[in-house]
């Protein structure tokens, strides 16, 4: 999926991936698409909740296309509302 920016939040634990996402989104226009990589097991709950509460759209959540040994690593694609 094409995206405007990418955020690497690997190694960060709750609530840091969401805080990093929120901070980067402030300077973006509505409709911008952000890809965030996170391996915090709580991110699978926290990122959708953040999107829902702030009127952003979670477009997709998936395992990375490249194989990795990190079984918790996920890609989240968020469209700024």
Q: Which of 14, 16, 19, 42 is catalytic?
A: 14
Cis omega (within 30 of 0) for bond into 45: no
HEC states along 16-53?
HHHHHHHHHHCCCCCCCEEEEEECCCCHHHHHHHHHHH
Known active-site residue 51: no
Pairing label, strands 33-38, 5-8: parallel
Residues with a known catalytic role: 14
């Amino acid at each position: 999926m094409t995206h405007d920016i990418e955020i690497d939040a690997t190694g960060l634990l709750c609530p840091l991936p969401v805080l990093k996402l929120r901070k980067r989104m402030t300077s973006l226009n509505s409709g911008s698409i952000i890809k965030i990589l996170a391996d915090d097991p709580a991110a699978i709950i926290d990122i959708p909740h953040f999107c829902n509460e702030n009127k952003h759209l979670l477009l997709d959540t998936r395992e990375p296309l490249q194989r990795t040994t990190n079984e918790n690593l996920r890609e989240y694609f968020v469209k700024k509302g």
